[in-house]
Structure 1
Amino acid sequence: MKIFKQAILLSGILTASVVSAQNAKMNNMIKVGANAGLAVPSDNVSASVGVDVAYQNLITPGFGLGIATGYTHYFGKNNNGYNNNDVGLIPVGALIRIYPKRSGFYFGTDLGYGFLIGDEKVASNTTLNRPNGGFYIKPEIGYHNRDWNFFVQYQKVFVGDKGDLPNQNYNVGNIGVGFSYNIPLGK
């Protein structure tokens, strides 16, 4: 939870810097945002909330590349007699975005590695260790303008069968919604 509070504080500080950057070009930017979702499939977690921070460089007016990270908190749930623990996700990945028009529809994805943090056990009443992470993907589709992005996302960390218990598959993934604010860099 401490990391979550620090990420919110960082988001506030970065957003406050917008006042001094309003006349900057929009070729390089920091994107700061938040997301929430419902876990799919949902054997061990029920819902998620998170913050996103990314750097994006517009290679062309319609194509952006960058790096992305953040923190997403997945809330554990009781299932088949297991008291599943919460788990945190810290992704580190490449950001890819396609903007067909100056404002309007866009799509893209983040690809990389997702580090899983929190309690070492899958559930409080088992001895099975939680996976440490895996391949991370976050495709999204949404609406954008100069300052804002509003999107629908699918976020998933692929861990194989690590963390699976009898009658329960371990999963860290969600379908959700989110937004981000673009902070321009440079003058």
Structure 2
Amino acid sequence: MKMFKQVLLGAGILAAGLVSAQSTQMTNMLKVGATVGVAVPSDNVSAAIGVDVAYQYLVTPGFGLGVATGYTHYFEKDNNGYDNNSVGVVPVAAVLRFYPKKTGFYIGTDLGYGFLVGDNKVAANANVERPDGGFYIKPEVGYHNRDWNFFLQYQKVFTGSTGDMVNQDYNVGSIGAGFSYNIPLGK
């Protein structure tokens, strides 16, 4: 019974904290979300699924700056006789967002470096090294309110010609959709 009371007390304190957090100004926030997409171009990967975490500070009510990271998994695709390996992207990026109105449409982008993780080879049946990463960009357009963002995005890691093979260019990019939940961090 003592443990039940402690759990009930803890849940009450957590609920009170969440209620008070929701009433604060949304100047500093943590954004936690998920994305899905289709690879473009799609020589070596077919689809993508990911999670994002970002911190954003509203410099003005219509302009936000911050930092972002996360993980996006790109699923392998067999192509031209190559048994391609899947690859993951871990971005370290700056966040730029423009909010014309308090609620409604917005535009923005993440810019930084995308670390590529997973198997060191592009394909299981080829001796070509996978790149370690490259310039990362994720422009998005979406709809936002106080608690949620829903968006369409393009995500790309530019690796140059590293990882290219005969009859196959190495690409890590997708177009897709996602959502994020805004967690206020106080004034």
4+ residue runs of structure 1 moved beyond 6 angstroms?
none
Q: Residue 150 of structure 2 corresponds to which residue in structure 1?
A: 150
Q: Residue 78 of structure 1 corresponds to which residue in structure 2?
A: 78
Asked if 1:119 is matched to 2:114, the reply is no
8 A Cα contact 1:148 1:180, kept in partner: yes
Q: Residue 23 of structure 1 corresponds to which residue in structure 2?
A: 23
**Deviations along 1:144-166, whole A, 9 cap, x unmatched?**
00000000000000000000000
SS in 1 for 2:105: strand
**Deviations along 1:83-125, whole A, 9 cap, x unmatched?**
0000000000000000000000000000000000000000000
2-side partners of 1:178 and 1:159: how far apart?
A: 24
1-side partners of 2:117 and 2:19: how far apart?
A: 35
SS in 2 for 1:167: coil
Once the two structures are TM-superposed, the CA of residue 20 in structure 1 deviates from its matched residue by 5.5
Q: What is the letter of the counterpart of residue 184 of structure 1?
A: P
Q: Residue 167 of structure 2 corresponds to which residue in structure 1?
A: 167
Equivalenced residues, count? 171
1-side partners of 2:117 and 2:18: how far apart?
A: 31
Q: What is the letter of the counterpart of residue 166 of structure 2?
A: P
Q: What is the letter of the counterpart of residue 98 of structure 1?
A: F
Q: Residue 40 of structure 1 corresponds to which residue in structure 2?
A: 40
1-side partners of 2:89 and 2:125: how far apart?
A: 22
Using a 3 Å threshold, how does the CA distance of structure 1 residues 30 and 154 change in structure 2: closer, same or farther?
same
1-side partners of 2:25 and 2:124: how far apart?
A: 50
The CA RMSD over aligned residues, in Å, is 1.0
Using a 3 Å threshold, how does the CA distance of structure 1 residues 104 and 122 change in structure 2: closer, same or farther?
same
1-side partners of 2:85 and 2:19: how far apart?
A: 41
Q: What is the letter of the counterpart of residue 77 of structure 1?
A: K
Report the TM-score when normalising by structure 1.
0.90
Unaligned stretches of 5+ residues in structure 2: 1-16
**Deviations along 1:33-64, whole A, 9 cap, x unmatched?**
00000000000000000000000000000000
Once the two structures are TM-superposed, the CA of residue 178 in structure 1 deviates from its matched residue by 0.1
2-side partners of 1:139 and 1:47: how far apart?
A: 18
SS in 2 for 1:21: helix
Identity among equivalent pairs (%): 73
8 A Cα contact 1:18 1:183, kept in partner: no
2-side partners of 1:160 and 1:20: how far apart?
A: 48
